[in-house]
């Protein structure tokens, strides 16, 4: 570790050196692959402490700075408050008393089924999205789901250990598009589509979608929604406010990612061009 702090005993210190989806047919637009930029590597000469913490999947770099400032981070057993510290693979880093490791970033697309909880651990021992990943426990340790789909909602879910990307994807500033298919027990009337776009009053304020349209006619039981908001159970509450019962809710597109070719309950790793596309959307490239 650099910046004047002592190295671990017995080791010599080393100085650190998508676009918007159309809802009529529900697919997303394709994006050019573009070029990538490589960040610092923990296996190289050194990595800034806040980047190391984000790489470990703890939080974003900005949030890591806050943890450092509060004295919640230790390097080689010593509490640090300096933001310019760099660490190497030989250093031991702890956050809130828990040792962390800056593993290589993983990006996984999961087609979440119903009756599955979007969390790392469930105190009631219900099935979680992490249980669906056929990976060794050691590899799952730093992974977490990005955002939340409620228990009875299926569809596209991103799982990663890239704290910085996850933070930006969920931040309202970047207005990341999400596309849903909603099926209702009773037909949805045309003026109710307009109400969804103009805004529906909920207990926590007004909520609206960016686009709303019938998925197929003449039936009016299935509606496609495009939105960038993401409050708790927002779609279900909006339809309840209009007097509708939702019988099926699926997220078919998240930031340009779809579950095409991935069966319910299955997953795949993202392709490099998909990772680059995600990062471009939130200005990381």
Alpha-carbon distance of 76 to 220, in angstroms, equals 62
3-state DSSP assignment of residue 112? strand
Closest CA to 39 of 274, 282, 276: 276
Alpha-carbon distance of 230 to 208, in angstroms, equals 10
Alpha-carbon distance of 209 to 242, in angstroms, equals 14
177 assigned to active site:
no
Indicate which residue of 122, 150, 152, 210 is catalytic: 150
Q: Which residues are catalytic?
A: 150
């Amino acid at each position: 570790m650099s910046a004047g702090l002592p190295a671990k005993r017995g080791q010599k210190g080393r100085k650190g050196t998508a676009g918007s989806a159309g809802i009529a047919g529900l697919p997303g637009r394709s994006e050019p692959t573009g070029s990538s930029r490589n960040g610092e590597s923990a296996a190289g000469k050194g990595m800034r402490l806040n980047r190391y913490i984000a790489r470990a999947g703890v939080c974003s770099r900005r949030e890591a700075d806050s943890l450092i400032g509060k004295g919640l981070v230790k390097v080689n057993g010593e509490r640090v408050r300096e933001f310019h510290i760099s660490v190497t693979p030989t250093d031991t880093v702890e956050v809130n008393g828990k040792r962390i490791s800056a593993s290589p970033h993983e990006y996984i697309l999961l087609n979440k089924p119903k009756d599955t909880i979007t969390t790392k651990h469930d105190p009631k021992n219900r099935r979680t999205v992490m249980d669906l990943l056929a990976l060794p426990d050691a590899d799952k340790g730093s992974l977490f789901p990005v955002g939340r789909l409620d228990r009875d909602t299926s569809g596209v879910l991103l799982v990663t250990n890239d704290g910085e990307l996850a933070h930006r994807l969920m931040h309202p500033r970047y207005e990341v598009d999400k596309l849903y298919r909603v099926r209702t027990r009773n037909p949805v009337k045309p003026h109710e589509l307009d109400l969804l776009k103009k805004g529906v009053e909920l207990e926590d304020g007004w909520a609206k979608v960016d686009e709303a349209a019938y998925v197929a006619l003449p039936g009016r039981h299935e509606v496609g929604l495009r939105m960038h908001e993401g409050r708790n159970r927002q779609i279900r509450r909006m339809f309840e406010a209009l007097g509708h019962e939702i019988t099926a809710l699926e997220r078919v597109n998240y930031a340009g990612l779809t579950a095409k070719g991935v069966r319910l309950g299955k997953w795949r790793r993202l392709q490099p061009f998909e990772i680059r596309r995600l990062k471009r959307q939130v200005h990381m490239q």
